[in-house]
Structure 1
Amino acid sequence: MRILILALVLISNLGFSQNKRTDLNFTTKYFDAVDKWVAFPNKDIDSSFAYGFIYLDNQAGFTFNYEDRFKIENGTLKKVGNNLQTGAVKYRIDTNANPVSILTKEQIEDLNLPDTPEWLSVYKQGSENVGYLKNEGYHYNHAGACERALLPLLKAYKIKPHFEGLEFELSYAYNHLKQYKKAIPILDKAIKNNPKNFYFYRELGFSYVNLDQVKKAEEIYLKGISASDNDFEKSEMAINMAQAFFKLKNRTKFDEWAKLTKKYAKKDSNYMQYIEYFEKNWDKN
């Protein structure tokens, strides 16, 4: 009886080990898999999986270096074998890309892959430079991964705070993460250094309006609209103030900013639809 139980335990453990070796968990966002070997989910009609290496091209953005395809056979990963040379096919990753499965050490060994591709070092050159760090933060921000953007942006800010585009990216990340109080001193210094950059006013106004400091936000947005030559950006600043006064049920101020929104927004834009909604629902709670 004991022998039978022991045999069952061994079989169970063996089965568990094999399953774990071939587990694929497609739950990781591509921007959380940078510098990792990954597999993408397959289509229902295909039993093989595309695999390769995700890295961040400092100029072009998140990139998937396609290696080949594999199938799961007898508890291991087996290359399908398309005879493609390493690094021959690269895909820029769309922001809407499906989640990936990061390959485990055992899976990497099954596919006879190095821990890190030799060619990766080319894309790491100058990685401590301000421009490189700013671009890295930009790509994370663009992907919506603003928390990851903070590390390179803050590192760059300590080196050269007024580097072109850096203050905007850093304040944008803070605002996206709802850390408005951290964005304000960054933007105050940015405006003092470059008072003509209307993007700084746009972000600063956004910080204040979300802190319910409406009077201060209005002051900043008026300066931003005056400095801007971009109607879309003007309409964005205007709609933010219109919405703030809609929430406060201040009709006089709302009408002021609704008028500005209508002046700068395109007729078929979402901002015009928001104004229409606010006007129709003014008396509702």
Structure 2
Amino acid sequence: MKKLILLSVLCCITLSTFAQKAIGTDTALKFNQRYTKCERKWVVISKSDTSADYSFGYIYIDQQAGFTFDLKGTFKVDKNNSYIVDTTTSKNSSIKYRISPNWRPVALIPQQHFNELHIKPQPDWLKYYYTYTDTVAHNYRWGYTYNDVEEPTIALTYLEPAYKVDAKNPGIAYEMAYAYNALTRYDDAVRIMEPAIVQTPGNHLFYKELGFAYLHKEEYEKAIATYKRGLEHFADKPTESRGELAYDIASIYKKQNNQPEYKNWMTKAKAYTPMDSKYYKLILDAGF
């Protein structure tokens, strides 16, 4: 009986080992890269344990769509750890996918496998997506794109050079302040936003970023004054931005334990906020 059990165990181990080799997993592939760190790189998407194929492709930024994945095809890994392209799935034409913010981590393709996959470090078609001639416009757009995917440090590598050339560009100023606030560099956000508001006083986003910086610097009176100045530039009808500014003022008064002003501004925030806004629900949940 023991021999039969042992034989059964050995058979299971042998079959498991055979299946693992047949499936072909490259343990050198480390699926620990966020797509935002893989612009202009070839990557592999993780597969299930029971799948024999890896999917691979190229990540780049489309000026309008943002981060995009160009699917090249699939490959298997043989017993010598060579990559074998599936010619029925690998295509000359492009199949492009807009990358969602919560896209799973990917692995970079080791360069020694490029020839096996019939790929170049930079695909020929890429030149049509990186043909910018206006460096400031390109840097602004790339900074915006990286801010949009919560990569403010990378965003600033594009935005700071653009700001040096065109400091009066309101889009660049806003994206820089947004990145600085995300990185808790509040003094830098103030430095950028104060002159921007003087130049473009009707931009409600400026008041949000400047007020946010003052708030986190614990300069509460300046934050309140900034939010109130922002409210002066809105029409009387309820809007998301108008309600948010009033709600932020109320939050500061609550932090200061000023109950009369807190209640006053929560009431105003409710009147200023559309009923389908997330701030309206927060106000209702607070009992107003």
Give the TM-score normalised by structure 1.
Answer: 0.84
Counterpart position of 2:244: 236
Aligned CA distance change for structure 1 residues 128 and 31 (closer, same or farther; 3 Å): farther
Whole-Å Cα distance in 2 between the matches of residues 172 and 239 of structure 1?
Answer: 19
Q: Distance in 2 between matches of 1:51 and 1:79?
A: 10
Structure-2 separation of matches of 1:255 and 1:113: 63
Which one is further off, 143-152 or 220-229? 220-229
Report the equivalent of 2:271.
263
| Structure-1 residue corresponding to 2:205 | 199
For 2:141, which of 135, 142, 151 is the aligned residue? Answer: 135
* Paired residue type of 1:132: H
Query: Within 2, Cα distance between the matches of 1:58 and 1:66?
Result: 18
- How far has the Cα of 1:104 moved from its partner? 1.3
* Secondary structure of the structure 1 residue equivalent to 2:129: helix
Aligned to 1:63: 68
TM-score of the aligned structures, taking structure 2 as reference length: 0.83
| SS, match of residue 165 in structure 1 | helix
Identity of aligned residues (%): 31
Query: Which range moves more in the overlay, 195-204 or 150-159?
Result: 195-204
Amino acid in the other structure paired with 1:215:
E
Match of 1:116 in 2: 122
Q: Deviations over 1:147-183 (max 9, x none)?
A: 1111101111011112241111111111112111101
Q: 1:20 to 1:267 in 2, by over 3 A?
A: closer
For structure 2, the 5+ residue unaligned runs are 1-23
- Would the alpha carbon gap of residues 214 and 87 (structure 1) be closer, same or farther in structure 2, given more than 3 Å must change? farther
Distance in 1, Cα, partners of 2:133 & 2:217: 35
Query: 1:82, CA displacement in angstroms?
Result: 2.7
Q: Deviations over 1:58-87 (max 9, x none)?
A: 222111111001122211222122354335
Q: Is residue 181 from structure 1 mapped to residue 187 from structure 2 by the alignment? A: yes
Q: Residue 43 of structure 1: CA displacement?
A: 4.0
What corresponds to 2:34 in structure 1? Answer: 29
Give the structure 2 partner of residue 274 of structure 1.
282
Written as runs of structure 1 = structure 2, the 5 A alignment for 1:42-191 is 42-43=47-48, 46-74=51-79, 75-126=81-132, 129-191=135-197
